[in-house]
Amino acid sequence: MTLQELIDHPCAWFVDHACGEVAISSRIRLARNVAGYPFPSRAEPVQLREIRHNVLRTLSQLDLFDQGWVSETDEVSARDRMLLFERSLMSREHMENEESGAIGVSRDEQDVVMVNEEDHLRLQVVRPGLSLESAWEEMQTLDASMEEHVDYAFSSKYGYLTCCPSNTGTGLRAGVMLHLPGLALLDEVRPVMRGLAKMGLAVRGPGGEGSDADGFLYQVSNQVTLGRSEQDIIGELHQVVDELVTHEYNARLRLEEVRPNGLRDKVGRAAGILQNAWELSSKEALDLLAMVRLGLAMDLLAVEEEHVVERLMIEVRPAHLQKLAGKELNPGERDRFRALRVRSKLAELRKGPKL
Amino acid sequence: MKCEHCDQTATVHVTRVAQGKVHKVHLCEACAQKMGMGPSPSSTGSGPTVADALLGGGMSGSVSSPHRVRRCPGCGLTLRGLQKEGRLGCAQCYDVFGEELDRILRSIHDAVEHRGRTPGEGVKRQDLGRKMDVLQSRLTRAIEAEAFEDAAKIRDELQHLQTTLEAKLEENRKASGNKEVYPS
């Protein structure tokens, strides 16, 4: 499979959830290191290449990746790495590190192995919707298949040994991407986040640490990785996310009650701008698409093509846009091409039964 | 006043309470940013950072004493390096800096012991491999000393371990062959 074939598919984990659902995707990541080698930050280049060679050999023996896409990072152009980052297939750190890295992605993009990131191995499983348990099931299979070929650095006291102490133990980061426009419109995201932080959960924009919450997309994940079992960590996160989802639906109901006109104004303006704009920045497009997504979920808007908004939420990002255009675009050209793409895709967007 | 971590002028002054004691920390802007104490938006909101914990650790006791340079024999990381970067260099660092690490881990996770998944066959294979290494060197020594009876026993034991190891690998291959790894 080539990279082009991979990205020609719609981004399944982002798109395949039920329309308008609050929980967009669930992600499980495991940090693992290979026994007998220093962690990437202190390893010699020759050691990193050795690890990469061994892991790539392993990946070629696993059907999951053999039928998917596997590459050394330095063979992927900077723009394509950015594209993989926009699709959450690569971390920011991995995108920026050209040396000795490698990546394996399954055909459906739901299983990913990153080689020589902060740790020798980062395993990732992403599933659409709120499906942490099934992602964890899949992850255990992936972890076990890797372990057959690779000896992990492990201590009976500390568990899986990782470069950063914040990952020590299970090496597990479980996260759910949530779309929270209702809470955002009611200015309630901040207090909710403070509450989550007190519970030891992290809330971030979708690109991971330090990224903005463009499009009202938030990622809620565990911080504690040691002293608790994977099932406990995942179970608690699931419970909190369930509550958050209810909270978001309640916020939408309250909006309808308290600010029916304000809500319609926001959704209607978003649709109007997206259908008529000739220049759109990435942030503006994402924020407005988020409002349209809210409008579709609340029957204020309607559209024939399923998941058209979700697809656009990926396509309007800079690297994706340039891939679509088939050439390099400067920021101004991108804004015009983005507006063109959105206009044509949303031409059929119309009023819903409740507007 | 100079920064506690480099020679720049300290411009960030933080009062911290750790284990019931008040500590004043003086840092330059760059070090403060690194330790998550600067005005950067990413430093707000979430729980204690690794650097917080390290700093808490560095403030008390002998760990910050310049007279003792402890270095990991596995990767060469020093305690100072660990405090500065907040990252470990290799698996051995976990043993070398155990005491400081426990403090860091407790502040992040409120725990120091793993309760989750353990590697299955991988680790058993490592154990077998280690046992075989030991036997192999005993075998060499026995042959050198012309203790052929001992050598024969050791060789039998080695062969037994080799068979076990191969059987385990075969079992794994079969088990993973039965699993539907790629959902259609």
Q: Among A167, A192, A42, A82, which Cα is nearest to B93's?
A: A42
Do A286 and A213 have their domain in common?
Answer: no
Question: HSE of A227 in the Cβ direction (CA atoms, 13 Å)?
Answer: 14
Number of neighbouring beta carbons within 10 Å of residue A187: 8
| A248 alpha carbon, distance to own chain's centre | 20
Task: Say how many domains are in chain A.
Answer: 2
Split at pLDDT 50, 70, 90, the class of A11 is confident
pLDDT at position A303 is 93
In this structure, the answer to whether residues A246 and A270 fall within a common structural domain is no
Percent of all residues in chain A with a pLDDT value above 90, rounded to a whole number:
77
Both A345 and A243 in one domain: the answer is no
Same domain, A331 and A275: yes
Same-domain check for residues A153 and A289: no
Q: How far apart are CA A284 and CA A290, in angstroms?
A: 10
Mean pLDDT of chain A: 91
Phi/psi at A224 (5° precision): -80, 130
- B175 → chain A, closest CA residue: A145
CB neighbour list of residue A127: distance below 8 Å, 6 or more residues apart: A13, A25, A26, A27, A110, A134, A135, A138
pLDDT digits (tens, 9 = 90+) for B37-63: 544 333 333 445 555 555 544 433 344
pLDDT of res. B74: 92
Rounded to whole angstroms, the Cα distance separating A65 from A84 reads 16
Do the domain assignments include residue B8? yes
Residues A111 and A209 in one domain: yes
Q: Percentage of chain B with pLDDT > 90?
A: 27
Residue A203 sits at the chain B interface (C-beta within 8 Å): yes
Residues of B in contact with A107 (CB under 8 A): 182
* B143 lies in some domain: yes
d(CA A220, CA B152): 60
From B118, B119, B181, select the one nearest A110 (Cα to Cα): B181
Taking alpha carbons only, the member of A94, A259, A88 closest to residue A175 is A88
A279 and A247 belong to one structural domain: no
Nearest to A164 among B45, B86, B179 (CB): B86
Residues 144-163 of A with CB under 8 A from B: 144-145, 147-148, 150-163
Backbone angles phi, psi at B102, to 5 degrees: -55, -40
Alpha-carbon span A291 to A180, nearest angstrom:
10
Residue B45 is nearest to which of A39, A197, A230, comparing CB atoms?
A197
Which residues are A115's β-sheet partners? A102, A121
Q: Please, are residues B26 and B42 in contact by the beta-carbon 8 Å criterion?
A: no
Given B116, B142, B157, which residue is the final one in a domain?
B116
Confirm whether B158 is domain-assigned.
yes
- Judge whether B164 lies within some domain: yes
Asked if A247 and A274 sit in the same domain, the reply is no
Name the minimum distance, in Å, from the CA of B146 to any CA of chain A: 33
Dihedral of the CA atoms A337, A343, A344, A348 (nearest 10)? 170
Angle between helix axes A282-297 and A331-345 (nearest 10 degrees) is 20
**Which domain range does residue A190 map to?**
3-251
Last residue in a domain, options A216, A251, A286: A251
Q: Please give the single-letter amino acid code of residue A49.
A: R
Examine the domain organization and report whether A215 and A295 are in the same domain.
Answer: no
Q: DSSP label at B71?
A: B
Residue B183 within a domain: no
Q: Is the Cβ–Cβ distance between A194 and B45 less than 8 Å?
A: yes
End of a domain among A251, A271, A306? A251
As a whole number, mean pLDDT of residues A203-211 equals: 58
Positive or negative CA dihedral for B51, B53, B56, B61? negative
**Do A251 and A188 contact (CB within 8 A), yes or no?**
yes
CATH number at residue A93: 3.30.590.10
Residues of A in contact with B88 (CB under 8 A): 39, 161-165
What is the pLDDT at residue B68? 61
Sort out which chain A residues have CB atoms less than 8 A from B81's CB and list them: none
Strand pairing class (A201-204; A172-179): unpaired
How many beta carbons lie within 10 A of that of residue B9, not counting itself? 10
Predicted pLDDT of residue B12 = 67
Which pLDDT score, from 0 to 100, does residue B11 have? 66
Region B149-154: mean pLDDT is 90
- For chain B, the residue count is 184
- Which is higher by pLDDT, A62 or B11? A62
Query: What integer is the mean pLDDT of B129-143?
Result: 85
CB-CB neighbours of A141 under 10 Å: 16
Residues paired with B131 in a beta bridge:
none
Q: Which long-range contacts (CB under 8 A, 24 or more apart) does B29-34 make?
A: B30/B6, B31/B3, B31/B4, B31/B5, B31/B6, B34/B84
Higher pLDDT, B169 or A152: A152
State the nearest Cα–Cα gap between B141 and chain A, in angstroms.
25
- How far off is chain B from A269, nearest CA to CA, in Å? 31
Max CA distance (Å), chain A: 64
Q: Is the pLDDT of residue B149 over 60?
A: yes
Residue A78 pLDDT more than 80?
yes
Contact A349, A300 (CB under 8 A): no
Partner-chain contact A197 B46, CB within 8 Å: yes
Same domain, A312 and A232: no
Tell me the average pLDDT across A103-132.
95
**Does residue B181 form part of some domain?**
no
Give SS3 for A328: coil
**CB B120: neighbour CB atoms within 10 A?**
14
Q: Does some domain include residue B68?
A: yes
Boundary residue ending a domain (A191, A216, A251): A251
For residue B116, give the nearest of A147, A153, A230 by CB distance. Answer: A230
- Written as one letter, the residue type at B8 is Q
Are residues A223 and B116, on separate chains, in Cβ contact within 8 Å? Answer: no
Q: How many domains does chain B have?
A: 3
Residue ranges making up the domain that contains B167: 120-175
In this prediction the pTM is: 0.76
Query: B54, B82, B103, B114: best mutation site toward chain A, by most A Cβ within 10 Å?
Result: B114
A135-154 mean pLDDT: 93
Q: Are residues B45 and B30 part of one domain?
A: yes
Q: Do A75 and A211 fall into the same domain?
A: yes
B58 interfaces chain A, CB cutoff of 8 Å: no
Helix (H, G, I), strand (E, B) or coil at A102: strand
Task: Give yes or no for A37 touching B (CB within 8 A).
Answer: yes
Q: Tell me, what's the ipTM?
A: 0.87
If asked whether residues B128 and B163 sit together in one domain, one would say yes
Residue B120 with chain A: CB contacts under 8 Å: 144, 147
Cβ-nearest to A229 among B42, B115, B172: B115
pLDDT band at A68 (very low <50, low <70, confident <90, very high): very high
Q: Of the candidates A106, A150, A155, which has its C-beta nearest B94's C-beta?
A: A155
User: Quick one: average pLDDT of A77-90?
Assistant: 90
**Residue A161 and residue A85 share a domain:** yes
A325 touches chain B (CB under 8 A): no
Would you say residue A104 has pLDDT above 50? yes
Give the model's confidence band at B167: pLDDT under 50 very low, under 70 low, under 90 confident, else very high: confident
Q: What is the mean pLDDT of residues B135-164?
A: 88
Say if residue A236 is exposed, middle or buried (CB neighbours under 10 Å; 0-12, 13-18, 19+): middle
CB contact under 8 A, A203 and B113: no
Determine, yes or no, domain membership for B130: yes
